[in-house]
Amino acid sequence: MADDTNIPAAQVKALRDATGAGMMDSKRALQESRGDVERATEWLRQRGLAQAGKRAARVANEGRVESYIHFNARVGSLVEVNCETDFVANTDEFRQLAKDIALHVASAAPRWVGRDDVPEEVAQAERRVYEGQAREQGRPENVLERIVGGKLEAFFKDTVLLDQPFVKDGDRTIGDLVDEASAKLGEKVAVRRFARFKVGEESE
């Protein structure tokens, strides 16, 4: 369990606002998950302490398209970040979130927004490679699944936008930023799509 001092009060409040759980339950969830907001939310939902889908079921069809061009003009990105109302889309907090995500996309080169966007054939191909590597290394069968699972997690953190550590703050993922913005702004916030461009490279 994480030490109490490692869980900022603002993070506890953000989780409480996002899930509808009590303050103490939110704090316990963050302690159990070592500050990981997504896992803390799952912890609360598993125990029936969160209002499952409180914001997930809402429709986010407002928002903004933000761009970022690197100083050398050789790398750039476009992102669409959605929210529920035009009012929130025009707040400083939402604009900054969109700018940060655009900068991150240009810098970290993700391939997909979320894990659900990763084609099944790609995930299965990665799994087969990791299984083959583990067997080549003579790893016992009873630990193969754990090894493969760990490598898949690393693959997602490397290629999936919401799983990537934020380039300006490696202690938080892009998913954390989105969840925190949703809690602060009181609306569903979601990254819909992005595009990254680099001179001389084909975009995917």
**Segment of 22-31, 42-51, 122-131, 152-161 carrying the highest mean pLDDT:** 152-161
Which token pair is 8? 């900022």
Contact 27, 41 (CB under 8 A): no
Q: Which of 53-67, 82-96, 161-175 is the least confident region? A: 53-67
Contact 131, 144 (CB under 8 A): yes
Q: Considering the chain, what percentage of its residues have pLDDT values greater than 90?
A: 45
Which CATH code is given to the segment(s) 4-46? 1.10.8.10
Q: What is the pTM of this model?
A: 0.68
Which CATH code is given to the segment(s) 62-114+160-198? 3.30.479.20
**Model confidence pLDDT, tens digit, residues 10-32:** 788 788 777 777 777 888 888 88
Average pLDDT over the chain, rounded to an integer = 85
Which CATH code is given to the segment(s) 119-159? 1.10.286
Query: Averaged over 28-45, what is the pLDDT?
Result: 84
Which token pair is 189? 């916030």
Query: Averaged over 114-140, what is the pLDDT?
Result: 86
Contact 166, 173 (CB under 8 A): yes
Q: Where in the chain is the domain with CATH 1.10.286?
A: 119-159
**Model confidence pLDDT, tens digit, residues 49-88:** 665 455 555 666 789 999 999 988 999 999 999 998 899 9
Q: Which of 156-160, 187-191, 199-203 is the least confident region? A: 199-203
Distance between CA atoms of residues 105 and 68, nearest Å? 9
Name 162's Cβ contacts closer than 8 Å, sequence gap at least 6. Answer: 113, 114, 115, 173, 174, 175, 178, 191
